[in-house]
Amino acid sequence: MLKQLYLLVFLLSSQLIFAQRDYDLFWVQFDHKDNSPYSIFHPQEYLSSAAIERRQKMGIKIDSLDLPVDPSYLAQIKAQGFAIQYSSKWKNGAVIRGNGQKLQFVQELPFVQKIAAIGFSRKKNEGTNYIGRREYKTEYTQEDDFYGLSENQIHMLQADYLHQLGFAGQNMPLAVFDGGFSDLRETPAFDSLRQKGQILGSYDFVQLDTFVYEGSEHGRDVLSCMAANLPGQVMGSAPQANYFLCKTEDSNGEYRIEEYNWLAAAEFADSVGVYLINSSLGYADFDDDKMDYAYVDLDGNTTTITQAADLAASRGILVVTSAGNEGNDPWHHLSAPGDADSILTVGATDRDGFHAAFSSYGFDSSYLVKPNLSARGLFSIVAQVGRYRHNFNSGTSFSSPILAGAMACLWQALPEYSNLELIRLAESLGSQYKKPDTALGYGVPALFDAWKKARAGHYLEVQETEDLYYLPMAKAQEDFFIIWPEAIDKEVEVKLYGPIGQLVYAQKHSAVFGQRFLCKIPNWKTLPAGLYQLELKMGPAKKKALLAK
């Protein structure tokens, strides 16, 4: 009786809704997974080996959320004349496509809990292999600094020091969610990314194909903040990382379907072993006013995309998202999923680290600081289409990927950390850690200092006033690092002698006068225990250290 009464109410309300908008995409919530043919003991059936390895590395168990939806449910929905857009194992449901007037047949299925209209389907565009015009490489001119004008936004986070240590994102699988990556192939700053095979995959969750070089240029600019590799002009914060490109934003309209696209993309990212997601997207105001969110909905638990972001974090993924650009607008505050408590929400600063007026504010809270951290978002340096040049763009859409790439490098350097531990570590080295606010959160993080904090005993930092050092417990995961805060010459000679006086390492390194010098003694972990003597020579300065291993 209750089922029939609910169905009657559903039919009456749906007729009113569809008289106004002919939606053809619907979220169908299932009630359980009790009859799933999948097992948590056989995750290889639905997770890649990389995803399983990431889980094991972080001590995250496979659970019922990881089980795909019951395929018999999908088959029964198809039998009612609806197509399956995609299903969600985390939320135990599916996005279906079809005539809204026939939904009563789906609602009558015994496993269906509820149905909601969420948006419109989009026709596929035919992808093309054609690559547009670009200028000749002879037009490529380089600034004196390796990072070009990107130097400020990279150095602000100390990401350049992580790069010098050898941590530029190598072998880190990252995902970028956006509204499209139009003109990426025409952008010279991405040539090495493509030639080296650093784009591991792509998927368009709007049009359901693998072609993402369409829609919006926004994703291309966002990606360039992380992956650009055009020395002397524009460099990303993780230029050596590997990337999955996911189109989740529908540039033709703003509806809740985009939250479910994001959810599907997050599940995809988890299944292929992604470690970090950057999402320069936010939702609160939709084209259908009935879908709009109010402040009360941004409580860290309510919106679909916020739930999805926290679920991704629970699987061990570091989710980084933009706070939003409503700082000067009546809304004023951040949007979803920036309210999620287990992710890193990023505000925007100018080149000097001051709050950019457009950057959205968090909500006053006694237990949760949002945004968490901030990076440069005012006149950020991005790659220019078709030219060996840089360009400028502003928004938290760019502060987010700049910090995301730098966090990936820090995680590469500290692989034993979990996603949440890494966020807490970065926050602890924020420029306003002792007095966070709703504008910048804990401020701009000093990520090299964060590495030093986590790696005490793994490096020697030379002081100008001291010539002899003793490290009684020199340790390292793999390599031992040497830090000279300010180079006084263009060359540094490094020698390491073993316990019986034998030379085990000798190398001359280039340095930049007046800048911090960083280098490493590789394979320190493999050397036998004993007392080692380290000799450093830079111009007239000579330093010695005894390292007890």
Is residue 397 part of the annotated active site? The answer reads yes
Among 163, 218, 333, 390, which one carries the catalytic annotation?
A: 218
- Give yes or no for a contact between 280 and 338, defined as CB atoms under 8 angstroms apart: no
Residue 116 makes CB contacts below 8 A (sequence gap 6+) with 26, 27, 29, 256
Question: Would you call 322 a catalytic residue per the annotation?
Answer: no
Which residues are 84's β-sheet partners? Answer: 96
Among candidate residues 178, 183, 221, 341, the one labeled active-site is: 178
CA distance 38 to 199: 31
Q: DSSP strand E in 298-387: where?
A: 318-322, 344-349, 373-376, 380-383
Residue 104's H or E segment, with its range, is helix 103-107
**C-alpha span between 336 and 305 (Å, rounded):** 7
Give yes or no for a contact between 117 and 100, defined as CB atoms under 8 angstroms apart: yes
> Which DSSP state fits 372?
-
Instruction: Please indicate whether residue 390 is annotated as part of the active site.
Output: no
Strand 242-247 to strand 173-178: parallel, antiparallel, or no bridges (unpaired)?
A: parallel
The C-alpha R_g of the chain, in whole angstroms, comes to: 26
Q: Rounded to an integer, what distance in angstroms lies between the CA atom of residue 355 and that of residue 359? A: 7
Residue 144 identity (one-letter amino acid): D
Q: Which of 14, 397, 399, 400 is catalytic?
A: 397
Count of helix runs (H) and strand runs (E) in the chain: 13, 23
Question: 534: closest CA among 488, 481, 487?
Answer: 481
Beta strands in 354-419 (DSSP E): 373-376, 380-383, 390-393
CA atoms of 186 and 385, how far apart (whole Å): 6
Tokens of 50: 């990389």
The string of DSSP codes covering 487-526 is -SSSEEEEEEE-TTS-EEEEEEEE--TTS-EEEEETTGGG
Q: What's the CA gap between 539 and 49, in Å, rounded?
A: 50
Catalytically active residues are 178, 218, 397
